[in-house]
Amino acid sequence: MRELANLLVDLDERFAAAPSAIAPSGEARERTLAWIDLTFGGWWSSEADRAELLCVAEDGRPRGFVAYAPATRAFAWLRGLGAAPDVGIFGPLGVAPEARGRGLGRALTRDALAALRARGFRRALIPAVGDERLIAYYAQVAGAHVAERWHPSAVRAARAVVLASGSGSNLQAIAERARAQAFPLEIVAVVVNRPQAYALERARRLGIATRVVAWERGRESRSEYDARLLAAVRREEPDLVLLLGWMHLLAESFVTAFESVLNVHPAFLPLDPGRDDVTFPDGSRTAAFRGAHAVNDALAAGAPWIGASVHAVTTQTDRGTILTRRPLRVRAEWDASAALAHLHPIEHDLVAAAVRRWLYERP
């Protein structure tokens, strides 16, 4: 993990012109957010959804975007200068690979800085820049200078318990990245509700403690099982509970007992948890496939896209705040097994990004 720089820009008369990029609204905004996920990896759309958004499109297709003035400043690197009332927050910024080298990034940068100035901010913070070439770029385009430096390792380490019911490929992916020090997370236990779940074998090979907490339906009630599961996880004193292929509806008492519970779900979910449909990068819309059979339901409905999302768990099924998500176009020859096989590597990346984001936004 490399050091990150926070850059500061004086919003002087250089940024007095009105922005020329479009601020998409309604379905155009939803399409742009989905395009951001497809093009840039799955984290930035939820950031942009909390902020003001400008977009450049060609032939009806997004080609570049910039977000600014987020409604919240939760990231760890915004707790210094980023908390000052006269400082507006810039970014993220992205230009499609095929549209680079044509000045779109430069124009979007200046548009967002002009919009911040119009809102009354005297300075702008361009946060978490980790590439010296980008630092030089912002210096040239906006007169930015390095004001703070911050290292991702400065975030507080966390203890995690993983709940799994299946093969555990997401468990293995996140455990290997944690051990490679991609982020400061210790998986202290893996809990399964099926003794035959291969996640048990993966955990043992990784040297992680395991617990089998299966529902003995003929001997205990649902509430008794829920209490036993809660007690087993609570004993580990986790900061984070990760549901990675966990096929059991959690009781409200479980969801509210822990600081954070995150779930990976095999569907591209809307950023607005109240919506029952979702928009994709090409503007098409489908139902938001929640529940245990999301991939089968999407294929049965003839959906042209599927996807994956990592969200906070609430008492409403698959309706928590989205941390990361990414769409995947369906191929005509895919059955459910093929679709899931193509989704798994996407899920691995999304879970890692969601954990990293959770660590960075954690108080």
State residue 166's pLDDT score: 95
Residues 175 and 72 occupy one common structural domain: no
- My answer on whether 79 and 206 are in the same domain is no
Q: Are 196 and 344 in a shared domain?
A: yes
Look up the CATH number of the domain holding residue 318: 3.40.50.170
Only one residue has tokens 């927050």, namely 89
Q: Which domain holds residue 84?
A: 4-153
Which of 113, 132, 153 terminates a domain? The answer is: 153
129 and 178 co-located in one domain: no
Residues 320 and 180 in one domain: yes
| Residue 102 CB contacts under 8 Å (≥ 6 apart), including other chains | none
Clarify whether residues 275 and 355 are in a common domain. Answer: yes
Question: Of 130, 153, 176, which marks where a domain is finished?
Answer: 153
- In a shared domain, residues 160 and 284: yes
* 51: CATH: 3.40.630.30
Q: How many domains does the chain have?
A: 2
Residues 219 and 98 in one domain: no
* pLDDT on residue 42: 86
Compute the Cα dihedral for 168, 172, 174, 175 and give only its sign. positive
Residues 76 and 120 placed together within one structural domain of the fold:
yes
Which residues face 10 on adjacent strands?
123
Q: Kindly state whether residues 232 and 189 are assigned to the same domain.
A: yes
- What's the order of all strands across the beta sheet hosting 123-129? 52-58, 61-68, 87-95, 123-129, 4-10, 145-150
Residue 162 and residue 305 in one domain: yes
Tell me which of 100, 131, 153 is where a domain ends.
Answer: 153
Q: What is the pLDDT of residue 195?
A: 95
350, 72 contact by CB (below 8 A)? no
Residue (of 285, 297, 357, 363) closest to 327 by Cα position? 285
Answer yes or no: pTM beyond 0.85: yes
Consecutive 10-residue runs of the chain (363 residues): their mean pLDDT? 93 94 95 97 94 94 97 95 97 96 96 98 97 96 97 92 97 96 95 96 97 94 97 98 95 96 98 96 96 95 98 94 98 96 97 97 91
* 149 and 164 share one domain: no
For 326, the token pair is: 């990414």
